[in-house]
Amino acid sequence: MLSMNAIQDPVYRDEPAVEADQRDVQPVISANNVTVSYGDKVALSNVSLHAPANQVTSLIGPSGCGKTTFLRCLNRMNDLIDICRVEGEILVAGQDIYDPAVDVVSLRAHVGMVFQKANPFPKSIFDNVAYGLRIHEMTTSKTELQDRVEFSLKRAGLWDEVSDRLNDSGTSLSGGQQQRLCIARTIAVEPQVILMDEPCSALDPVATARIEELIDELRKKFTIIIVTHSMHQAARISQRTAFFHMGELVEHGETEQIFTTPKDTRTESYITGRIG
């Protein structure tokens, strides 16, 4: 366990990203027997899933299958819903995040989230990216803040498009740019895990392709869990895939295996387009 220094230390400066096989093989996220219910309604039952570091794990399945619910459990965004109850155990970097001693604020700083619809704050592009850095007081000087904003925008592949108009409102960007801005905002605080909830569902194919490239690039540095409604997208970008159906995790494993030799007939039906 390292302290805040690890975060404040500008790891991002020049070291090359660590490759997956060099890191410990222990999964960054492991969920064990997770059951989620809204009031009387069970939304997710008995899900166990492990997501290894520096890989993209896709969560697929027909709408209403519980994949977004699961995703929102991973940084406890479900806490915002009063009637939502989570049972079971979710470990992030080996820590049980539903332990009462866990501070959701520091959890969410380490497990960032990108949402279905791009939601830039009605602030300038710069302030959008600087937001997390400011609230977590991660920079000590103005130049450092500027550097980090620039670095994050570059990493999100947006810098070239916005470098001359950082003071424009974030909402003035196009849909794809807005979503990349949201990604830049998320990676600025250097989380370990990025959760993405159908980040491309509102975008055109060109913008989608750019985000997909970006996700592949980001995987070198972050662990990514992505909910997607598109099987093709899952096949294109992820190393691992989990198939959810009616609140159950039907099957999960290497993406290639899921798409070529699914073990469960329901997975096969979904992939071949018979359900969903």
* Binding-site ranges for another protein (CB under 8 A): 1-4, 6-7, 11, 75, 77, 80, 82, 92-95, 97, 99, 101-110, 112-113, 115, 117, 119-123, 131-132, 135-137, 182, 185-186, 189, 192
In angstroms, the CA 104 to CA 111 distance is 10
Smallest distance, another protein to C-beta of residue 113, A: 4
Smallest distance, another protein to C-beta of residue 8, A: 11
Burial-class residue 169 by CB neighbours within 10 Å (0-12, 13-18, 19+).
middle
Burial-class residue 237 by CB neighbours within 10 Å (0-12, 13-18, 19+).
buried
**Does residue 81 contact residue 38 with C-beta atoms inside 8 Å?**
yes
User: For another protein, which is the closer residue by CB, 148 or 252?
Assistant: 148
Of 40, 156, 32, 152, which is closest to residue 94 (Cα–Cα)?
A: 32
The backbone torsions φ and ψ at residue 153, rounded to the nearest 5 degrees and listed phi first, read: -65, -40
The backbone torsions φ and ψ at residue 42, rounded to the nearest 5 degrees and listed phi first, read: -85, 120
**Does residue 50 contact residue 31 with C-beta atoms inside 8 Å?**
yes
The residues near 195 (Cβ < 8 Å, ≥ 6 apart) are 71, 72, 74, 75, 111, 112, 113, 114, 224, 225, 226
Smallest distance, another protein to C-beta of residue 139, A: 13
Residue entry with tokens 């960032």:
112
Q: Edge-to-edge, what's the strand order for the sheet holding 95-96?
A: 41-51, 29-38, 84-92, 95-96
Of 70, 88, 52, 96, which is closest to residue 197 (Cα–Cα)?
A: 70
DSSP state of 17: P
| Structure tokens, 242 | 């989990």
